Amino acid sequence: MSLVLYNTMKREAEPFQPYCTGKIGFYGCGPTVYNYAHIGNLRAYVTHDILIRTLRRRGYNVTHVMNITDVGHLSGDNDEGDDKMIRSAEERGKSVLEIAEFYTNAFFSDTDRLNIVRPNIVCKATDHIDDMIALIKRIELRGFTYFSGGNLYFDISKFPHYGDLAHLKPDSLKAGARIEVDSSKRNPQDFVLWFTKSKFSNQALTWESPWGRGYPGWHIECSAMSMKYLGEQFDIHAGGIDHIQIHHSNEIAQSEAATGIHPWVRYWVHNEFLVLDKTKMSKSSGGFITLQNIIDLGYSALDYRFFLLGGHYRSQLQFSFDSLESARNSRRSLMSSFRHIAEKAGGLASLDEAAGKMPQGRTAEYLAVFEAALDSDLSTPKAIAALWGLVKDDESRPLDILGAAFSMDDVLGLNLAKELRKNFTESENDMNVDEIEAAIAVRTAAKKAKNFAEADEIRNKLKAEGVILEDSPHGTTWRRG
Ligand code: AMP
Ligand code: ZN
């Protein structure tokens, strides 16, 4: 079965077929580094990570490029409002570049903690001004620009595919009801390629250009940097759904206008929002939660990753601490089941043995279900269900279960092997499964013989070793407390 991906451009799921056999160019819009990423932004990057890991697991050689926006992004995506970087620098009494460096580091510290694989290429907008100017010149040469009110604009009326991605009808393009009107624009959806007469007298970063000293509009950086590193046509472009209507529509217009190549990108992948009390979590509203906030409350970053995987990336996900709490409990119980399985498989040494083990029998079937789930437009909820099925399968050999689970974890990124290793090495003095089960057998016999004092003594001894017993009509189960 092949990977089927939902393509926003076509509004349908279609089999994935890269431009070149075995090689994939992937561009995901990166953060604007004027503040911490909130956990909604991080949903976008976990989505990219799952897709990239899925492709790599299938043997594709993926080049993942991510931009860092450190110039030109205004508070409104369509050239209205303040410059986000300048405002943040002023509020914090720092330079724009200091702010950018601080929040870029914070961003990667978050993505590392979420076990998101780092991109192959991370490119800063301010390092690529020459590439942007070169691209704008190409767009200008092909007749898609006009100069007005001190800025160079892209004229969307010259580009027949404008609005294809957002499925905008030609009539709605004229309406202009959406946004504050910039009197220099011919059409409301035209957008700035290069600001010269800056509306921000305090703009710290400006560069010489054929259109005068100034700075680039926000959208051009993604066209310039993606094509620099991935070529003029590439396979996948990803971001949150808020980018469909303006940012990605403008990226397509600029790129195809410059090269004359259509389509620029083959698959457009967009994640839905993480919402808080039914409203989109957003950086500018200030009411957002960071990864550090939830870590400070005692959760692990992997609890949040697990929470995200419980929802499909194209469905809105409602965040609440109650749901995070159940994700944590669920991950704990998963890890404790794995601990049992690993103990039965031979303890610490079994972890290396299981890694890279070819799955067989029933475990291979769970793995096939898991792969089918991901192939079906990255259904992580179904993939997690397959992992649970595997864990609960008491007929398969523990070593086979571990091997299949580690293989699933190549995509899920829950650090199963690492967490288990930590668990084993931190508790070398713990009782092993055989010792625990032997003690339980003695206790069961004592209870049968109505020797309750001895039974209680064994229960307490086990408790002191961190092993909790639970009696039920079907027998006694145990867990590490
Ligand atoms: P930004 O740093 O604002 O440019 O956003 C970074 C990424 O996060 C983009 O792909 C956005 O589309 C995405 N994003 C923003 N808000 C949310 C949200 N509440 N839920 C999911 N993704 C979001
Ligand atoms: Zn972008």
Q: What is the CATH number of the domain that holds 421?
A: 1.20.120.1910
390 part of a folded domain: yes
Q: Highest mean pLDDT: which of 1-5, 81-85, 180-184? A: 1-5
pLDDT of 344-361, one tens digit each?
999 999 999 998 888 888
Cα 208 to ligand 2 centroid, rounded to whole Å: 23
pTM score, whole prediction:
0.86
Q: Are 45 and 111 in contact (CB under 8 A)?
A: yes
Index of the ligand 1 atom closest to the CA of residue 239: 10
Q: How confident is the model at residue 298 (pLDDT cuts 50, 70, 90)?
A: confident
Per-residue pLDDT for 177 more than 80?
A: no
Closest residue (by CA) to atom 7 of ligand 1? Answer: 41
Question: Which of 271, 286, 302 delimits the end of a domain?
Answer: 271
Per-residue pLDDT for 200 more than 80?
A: no
pLDDT at 176: 46
| Number of structural domains found in the chain | 3
294 part of a folded domain: no
b (16+ CB within 10 A) / e for 229-263: bbeebbbbbbbbbbbbbbbbbbbbbbbbbbbeeee
Cα 333 to ligand 1 centroid, rounded to whole Å: 31
- In angstroms, the CA 62 to CA 230 distance is 10
Verify whether ligand 1 is closer than 6 Å to residue 115 (CB atom): no
3-state secondary structure of 275: strand
305 part of a folded domain: no
307 part of a folded domain: no
Examine the domain organization and report whether 184 and 203 are in the same domain. yes
Q: Residue 388: what residue type?
A: W
Examine the domain organization and report whether 236 and 361 are in the same domain. no
Q: Which ligand is nearest to the CA of 29?
A: 2
Please give the residue range of the domain that contains residue 242: 17-271
Question: Which of 240, 256, 271 delimits the end of a domain?
Answer: 271
100 part of a folded domain: yes
Examine the domain organization and report whether 416 and 452 are in the same domain. no
Examine the domain organization and report whether 49 and 81 are in the same domain. yes
Verify whether ligand 1 is closer than 6 Å to residue 32 (CB atom): yes
Index of the ligand 1 atom closest to the CA of residue 238: 10
pLDDT of 248-258, one tens digit each?
999 999 999 99
Examine the domain organization and report whether 127 and 224 are in the same domain. yes
Examine the domain organization and report whether 329 and 415 are in the same domain. yes
What is the total residue count of the chain? Answer: 481
- Which of 69, 114, 242 is the best mutation target for the ligand 1 pocket, counting ligand atoms within 8 Å of the beta carbon and taking the most? 242
Q: Residue 181: what residue type?
A: V
- In angstroms, the CA 289 to CA 390 distance is 34
In a 10 Å sphere around its CB, with 0-12 CB exposed, 13-18 middle and 19+ buried, how is residue 178 labelled? exposed
Index of the ligand 1 atom closest to the CA of residue 242: 12
Cα 73 to ligand 2 centroid, rounded to whole Å: 10
Cα 418 to ligand 2 centroid, rounded to whole Å: 34
pLDDT at 170: 62
- In angstroms, the CA 144 to CA 312 distance is 39
Examine the domain organization and report whether 334 and 229 are in the same domain. no
Q: Are 457 and 451 in contact (CB under 8 A)?
A: no
Examine the domain organization and report whether 36 and 113 are in the same domain. yes
pLDDT at 287: 65
Examine the domain organization and report whether 80 and 214 are in the same domain. yes
278 part of a folded domain: no
3-state secondary structure of 420: helix
Examine the domain organization and report whether 152 and 243 are in the same domain. yes
Closest residue (by CA) to atom 23 of ligand 1? Answer: 41
Examine the domain organization and report whether 357 and 459 are in the same domain. no
Q: How confident is the model at residue 175 (pLDDT cuts 50, 70, 90)?
A: very low
Enumerate residues with CB within 5 Å of ligand 2 (an ion). Answer: 29, 222
Sort residue 41 into left (φ over 0), alpha (ψ -120 to 50) or beta. alpha
Question: Which of 249, 271, 293 delimits the end of a domain?
Answer: 271
40 part of a folded domain: yes
Question: Which of 124-138, 279-293, 339-353, 442-456 shows the lowest mean pLDDT across its residues?
Answer: 279-293
- In angstroms, the CA 158 to CA 173 distance is 13
3-state secondary structure of 285: coil
Q: What is the CATH number of the domain that holds 224?
A: 3.40.50.620
Index of the ligand 1 atom closest to the CA of residue 44: 22
- In angstroms, the CA 95 to CA 103 distance is 12
Examine the domain organization and report whether 176 and 63 are in the same domain. yes
Structure tokens at 14: 């279609």
Structure tokens at 119: 């991109």
Index of the ligand 1 atom closest to the CA of residue 317: 20
315 part of a folded domain: no
What mean pLDDT do residues 403-431 have?
Answer: 88
